[in-house]
Amino acid sequence: MEQMLRAALAGYEEDLVAFTKALIAIPTENPPGLAYHACVDLLTQKLAEIGLDYTLLEVPAPTASSSRSADPGYCLLSSYGTGEDILYFHGHWFLLSISLNFSPMSKGATYLDAAPPI
């Protein structure tokens, strides 16, 4: 199965890397939760480009007393297929501190490369 997936994805490597770089380039620092709209825009554009329907839910901005961004949050839902043969896309923002000097543009870079020593 792994070989089949690798073979199927190999032809999309350039597009996947370009999309990942574009996604990583959006400054979604959290807290306070910046640039979520720009991130959602990129994701919804990609979903539309590849022909997947999606639902976008807006979460109201927190109250003024919060230390978070005054911008709303978003929940983006998408899936492929119906019934028992369905692929549901689930993800979340995973943020690393800038102080970790993580370089996602490096070939082969992983979260473990950036993880602080325990």
From first to last of its 118 residues, the chain has per-residue pLDDT tens of: 889 888 988 999 899 999 989 988 888 776 667 788 898 999 999 999 999 999 999 988 777 655 556 778 888 889 888 888 888 777 765 555 555 555 555 555 554 444 444 4
Answer yes or no: are the C-beta atoms of 68 and 31 closer than 8 Å: yes
Question: How far is C-alpha 14 from the chain's CA centre?
Answer: 17
CA within 13 Å, CB half, 118: 1
Task: Report pLDDT for 43.
Answer: 94
Torsion over CA: 70, 76, 41, 15 (sign)? positive
Q: pTM (2 decimals)?
A: 0.68
Beta strands in the chain (DSSP E): 54-59, 73-82, 85-89
Q: What is the pLDDT, as a whole number, of residue 98? A: 53
C-alpha to C-alpha distance for 85 and 109, rounded to whole angstroms? 33
Task: Map out the domains of the chain as residue ranges.
Answer: 2-113
Q: How far apart are CA 4 and CA 9, in angstroms?
A: 9
**Distance between CA atoms of 103 and 92, rounded to whole angstroms?**
19
Block residue for tokens 């959602």: 40
